[in-house]
Amino acid sequence: MDVATIIGFVLAMLVLLGTTGGKVALFVSVHAVIVVFGGLIAATFIKFNMKDIFNVVGIISKVFIPPKDHPHKIISELVDMANIARKDGILALEKVKTDNAFMQSAINHSVDGMDPETLREILTKDIEYLAERHKVGIIMFDSMGEAAPAMGMVGTLFGMVEMLANMNDPASIGPAMATALLATTYGAVVANLLTIPMAIKLHHYSKEEQIIRQLIMDGIIGIQKGVNPRILETMLYAVLSAKHRQHS
């Protein structure tokens, strides 16, 4: 689980509860919930197809589950394979098995005799398609972040219309004003504490996964070309930041 995401959501809940001053009931409006969340869901259905919407649970889960492959682990595996190929030839990699499907595919292509340029072209396409698939989820939550405040404003306008239409009834002015203000509040909270942060986290994890696959591609092609394992390790670590390059 992504600890940072959990901490963020917990802190957000604590801040919201603290802001209410313990009077949570005052900040609950069924009408505002219907307008903001109902409108947000309706807009999402209009913007995206059913396949993308049905995938939303899987997309949300990615916010809480960080990429399992760490760059150091991947580089270590690639250097080990480079040593095997240097000693016994690239066909010896046929016995190498890994949990990373992308890496396993690259190994299989190499063992089958695919030339480096063709392999680079195929793996690059794979990375591009991965980025496009991830882009759908990122755009979906970005669009929710844009729609939520807008639907909050719609709720506010409805509340104001109701209030103005009943100015002769002082008892109805307070509830109508409350609905108007809460709709805007709900829209701002949903956008800034949920959908936009989730879109940013998804973008971050997508970039991490692309970097991992880039490391694998460069490593396997380097092995194909017979690059010295130590040089290959240096080349791969160059992708990482200075802080993360330090390794034993």
Q: Does the pLDDT of residue 75 top 80, yes or no? A: yes
Task: Report percent pLDDT > 90 for the chain.
Answer: 65
Q: How far apart, in whole angstroms, are the C-alpha atoms of residue 44 and residue 32?
A: 18
The reply to whether 106 falls in a domain is no
Q: Does the pLDDT of residue 198 top 70, yes or no? A: yes
The reply to whether 229 falls in a domain is yes
The reply to whether 231 falls in a domain is yes
Task: Report percent pLDDT > 70 for the chain.
Answer: 97
Provide the 8-state DSSP code for 94: G
Q: Does the pLDDT of residue 248 top 60, yes or no? A: no
The reply to whether 97 falls in a domain is no
Stretch 205-232: mean pLDDT: 94
User: For residues 128 and 239, which has the higher predicted lDDT (pLDDT)?
Assistant: 128
Q: Record the pTM.
A: 0.83
Do 235 and 75 contact (CB within 8 A), yes or no? no
Q: Which are the contacts of 208, defined by CB distance < 8 A and separation ≥ 6? A: 66, 67
Q: How many Cα atoms sit within 13 Å of 148 on the Cβ side?
A: 21
Give the three-state DSSP class for 246: coil
Q: Does the pLDDT of residue 243 top 60, yes or no? A: no
The reply to whether 16 falls in a domain is yes
pLDDT of residue 246: 56
Determine the structural domain holding residue 197 and report its residue range: 3-71+116-245
The reply to whether 56 falls in a domain is yes
pLDDT of residue 245: 58
The reply to whether 61 falls in a domain is yes
User: Alpha-carbon torsion 209, 215, 220, 224, what sign?
Assistant: positive
Among the ranges given (55-64, 190-199, 208-217), the one the predictor scored with the smallest mean pLDDT: 55-64
pLDDT bin (cut points 50, 70, 90) of residue 131 is very high
User: Alpha-carbon torsion 99, 102, 104, 105, what sign?
Assistant: positive
Domain total of the chain: 1
Q: How many Cα atoms sit within 13 Å of 117 on the Cβ side?
A: 0
User: What digits encode the pLDDT tens for the residues 86-106?
Assistant: 999 999 999 999 999 999 999
Among the ranges given (34-43, 149-158, 169-178, 238-247), the one the predictor scored with the smallest mean pLDDT: 238-247
The reply to whether 86 falls in a domain is no
